[in-house]
């Protein structure tokens, strides 16, 4: 069964600084990988996804993520964070065949210092 | 509909009572998921429906939890004899078949007193 680990429970960065949120997955075959964001009082929103092809994927709000099979990682990055990026970020892994269940990590809470 | 609709948005109940939570997925989405999110925690998978296939119930925490879905339409999550540890936000999501891009509803917040 697939599993996801987000090693950082809470990260604080200054506005304008770069950001990297870590995600490691465990899955025996080619996974589908996702990052979702949950802003305070808001629902979950898809940031980006990886199904196949180019291992560097671009998402909304200036986020990108890189799939590294050798490291079983799918880290989320942003060159310069904005105060509005403060939120909870969830990495998820799904099976690459059909619409199977998604397994989510425990989330990383991002705080932005002014 | 335009999005995933969940009701009620908030439910307060007494310990031992039964509750039903409803999810209306996006029209045409064959996959439907229920997740639980306790305060300050991640998403815990509960159950997954895909078309007319047998549901994946591997995440249901106890036999007090059950869910139904008729075809590719509305789903109901039922919690019997609620306990205080059932207090959480219950999230429903749907996705098109074979794509795995989930669209989430706003959730149903359950408080068990």
Assigned fold of B5-112 = Immunoglobulin-like (2.60.40)
Q: Measured between CA atoms, how close is B102 to chain A, in angstroms?
A: 8
pLDDT band at B109 (very low <50, low <70, confident <90, very high): very high
Q: Which of A34, A97, A107 sits opposite B42 (nearest CB)?
A: A107
In a mutagenesis test of the B interface, which of A21, A29, A32, A44 is the best target, namely the one with the most B β-carbons within 10 Å? A44
| End-to-end Cα distance, chain B | 33
The CA–CA distances, whole Å, from B47 to A40, A42, A72, B74, B101 equal 25, 23, 26, 14, 16
The nearest alpha carbon in chain A to B90 belongs to: A43
Instruction: Please answer yes or no on whether A98 and B33 come within 8 Å at the CB atom.
Output: no
Chain position carrying tokens 């305070």:
A40
- Alpha carbon B100 to its chain centroid, in Å, reads 17
On chain B, the residues whose CB falls within 8 A of the CB of A21 are none
- Per-residue pLDDT reduced to its tens digit, B21-67: 999 999 989 889 999 999 888 899 999 998 888 898 989 999 999 99
- Per-residue pLDDT reduced to its tens digit, A80-107: 999 999 999 999 998 766 546 788 999 9
pLDDT at A22 over 80: yes
Round to whole Å and give the CA distance between B59 and B74.
20
pLDDT at B102: 87
Average pLDDT over residues B9-15: 97
Which carries the bigger pLDDT value, residue A17 or residue A28?
A: A17
Q: Poorest-confidence range of A33-37, A55-59, A60-64, B53-57?
A: B53-57
Q: Read off the tokens for B10.
A: 């908030």
Q: Is A90 on the interface with B (CB under 8 A)?
A: yes
Round to whole Å and give the CA distance between B7 and B79.
14
pLDDT at B99 over 70: no
pLDDT at A99: 46
SS (H, E, C) chain B: CCCCEEECCEEEECCCCCEEEEEECCCCCCEEEEEEECCCCCEEEEEEEECCCCCECCCCCCCCEEEEECCCCCEEEEECCCCHHHCEEEEEEEECCCCCCCEECCCEEEEEC
Domain ranges in chain A are 3-113
The nearest alpha carbon in chain A to B42 belongs to: A106
DSSP type of residue A61: G
The CA–CA distances, whole Å, from B55 to A84, B36, B95, B105 equal 38, 17, 15, 20
Nearest-10 Cα torsion for A108, A111, B3, B7: 80
pLDDT at A14 over 50: yes
pLDDT band at B96 (very low <50, low <70, confident <90, very high): confident
* Percent of chain B surpassing pLDDT 90: 73
pLDDT at B98: 58
If you classify domain A3-113 with CATH, what class do you get? mainly beta
- Alpha carbon A8 to its chain centroid, in Å, reads 12
Which carries the bigger pLDDT value, residue A2 or residue A6?
A: A6
pLDDT band at A3 (very low <50, low <70, confident <90, very high): confident
In a mutagenesis test of the B interface, which of A29, A48, A101, A111 is the best target, namely the one with the most B β-carbons within 10 Å? A101
Round to whole Å and give the CA distance between B86 and B67.
15
SS3 state of residue A65: strand
pLDDT at B84 over 80: yes
Instruction: Please answer yes or no on whether B95 and A99 come within 8 Å at the CB atom.
Output: yes
Please state, as a whole number, how many other Cβ atoms lie within 10 Å of the Cβ of residue B74: 14
């Amino acid at each position: 069964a697939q599993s996801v680990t987000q090693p950082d429970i809470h990260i604080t960065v200054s506005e304008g600084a770069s950001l990297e949120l870590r995600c490691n997955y465990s899955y025996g075959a080619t996974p589908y990988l996702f990052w979702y964001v949950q802003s305070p009082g808001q629902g979950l929103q898809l940031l980006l996804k990886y199904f196949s092809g180019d291992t560097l994927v671009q998402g909304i709000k200036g986020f990108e993520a890189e799939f590294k099979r050798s490291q079983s990682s799918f880290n989320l990055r942003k060159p310069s964070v904005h105060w509005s990026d403060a939120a909870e970020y969830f990495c998820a892994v799904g099976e690459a065949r059909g619409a199977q269940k998604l397994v989510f990590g425990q989330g990383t809470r991002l705080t932005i210092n002014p | 509909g335009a999005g995933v609709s969940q009701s009620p948005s908030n439910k307060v109940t007494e310990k031992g009572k039964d509750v039903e939570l409803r999810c209306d997925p996006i029209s045409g989405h064959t996959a439907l998921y229920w997740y639980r999110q306790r305060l300050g925690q991640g998403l815990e998978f509960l159950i997954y429906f895909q078309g007319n296939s047998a549901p994946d119930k591997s995440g249901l925490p106890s036999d007090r939890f059950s869910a139904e879905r008729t075809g590719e339409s509305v789903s109901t999550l039922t919690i019997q004899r609620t306990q205080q540890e059932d207090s959480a936000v219950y999230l429903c999501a749907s996705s098109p078949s074979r794509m795995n891009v989930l669209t989430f509803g706003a959730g149903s917040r359950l408080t068990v007193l």
